[in-house]
Amino acid sequence: MSYGIGFGMVYAALRIAGIDIGTSLVAQPLFLALTNTVGFGLPLVFGVLYQKARFSQVLPLRRPRPPLLVLAIAVTIMGAVVLSSEVDNLTRMFFPPPDWVVNMFGRIGDTRAYPIQSGFLLVVVAPVTEELFFRGLILRGLLSRYSSSCAVLLTALLFTVIHLNPWQFFSAMLLGTLLGWWFVRTKNLTVCLVGHAFANGLVFVQPFIPFEVQGFNTDPASSTPGQFQPLWFDAIGLLLFLGGLLIFQLACRRNTKTDTLVLT
């Protein structure tokens, strides 16, 4: 909803200025970055002001401690991306998306056409705006009313719905749950920002990988329905995911400093 509001405001401003917006402009990464910033930025500012709290209280941004935490995030996200890709293959086999959906998200996700702009949108704008809004404002509010597990899952569901792509439900839900759990454990939004940026960064570099893994970074033009990743690749993804979770647990145990989450 927030993204839709942002899109509507930017669209209205362009129309008032006499600028005709077509489908090609909608797929422009910089246009998406602008609508994303407006759509999430305005509710975020209003939400913080409404709570009459300092930004540092609502949005706790600190350097991740210990450094092992960053390794845990990277390893877990790499595994999650591999597993999500395979679930996406399975979903598309049983529920093939219509051509208009493929074309629309294909234009938006065409990182080769706009490499710099796409990288800026995926690795900078999206993580910053979405994490401050979902894990900062929304999750913080839900934690004051519900249990940690319920708050994390509700926030992840909202995060999934806002992406408007039912065929990526699992990947968005998994990422949202991971980020929410990390925030609950660390009380540090920087951890969520790093994780989200790393996940989007892996998606961004997929088309540029110099070798091809079937079902993972296969050229969409040559891929066929029901094409899956090699079992060894799935096994690596599972090991990375579980190993990353284990490293995260160890990193949290080593961090003896207790942070307090303000829920007023």
pLDDT in tens, the chain (264 residues): 444 444 444 444 444 444 454 545 556 778 788 888 888 888 888 888 887 777 777 788 898 888 899 999 999 999 999 999 999 999 988 888 887 677 766 666 667 777 888 889 999 999 999 999 999 999 988 999 999 999 999 999 999 998 878 888 999 999 999 999 999 999 999 999 999 999 999 999 988 888 899 999 886 655 666 789 999 999 999 999 999 999 999 998 876 544 444 333
Using a 10 angstrom Cβ sphere, with 0-12 exposed, 13-18 middle and 19 or more buried, the burial of residue 18 is: exposed
- Report d(CA 70, CA 247) in Å as an integer: 10
Residue 264 placed within a domain: no
35 falls within a domain? no
Judge if the upstream peptide bond of residue 66 is cis by omega within 30 degrees of 0. yes
In a domain, 222, yes or no: yes
pLDDT for residue 219:
67
Dmax (CA) for the chain in angstroms is 58
- 189-214 burial, b if ≥16 CB within 10 A, otherwise e? bbbbbbbbbbbbbbbbebeeeeeeee
Does the residue 212 lie in any domain?
yes
| 108 contacts 168 by C-beta, under 8 angstroms | no
Residue 21 covered by a domain? no
Q: Alpha-carbon distance 230 to 90, whole Å? A: 13
**77/198 Cα distance (integer angstroms):** 7
Q: Which domain holds residue 105?
A: 60-254
Tell whether 34 is covered by a domain.
Answer: no
Burial (CB < 10 A; 0-12, 13-18, 19+), residue 222, is exposed
CA dist 113 and 29 (Å) reads: 10
Nearest to 48 by CA among 64, 37, 39, 59: 59
Residue 184 lies in a domain: yes
Domain count, the chain: 1
Q: Is 264 in a helix, a strand, or coil?
A: coil
Q: What is the pLDDT of residue 5?
A: 44
- The C-alpha atoms of residue 74 and residue 86 are separated, in whole angstroms, by 19
Q: Is residue 206 part of a domain?
A: yes
Please state the pTM of the whole predicted model: 0.83
Tell me which amino acid residue 226 is.
Answer: G
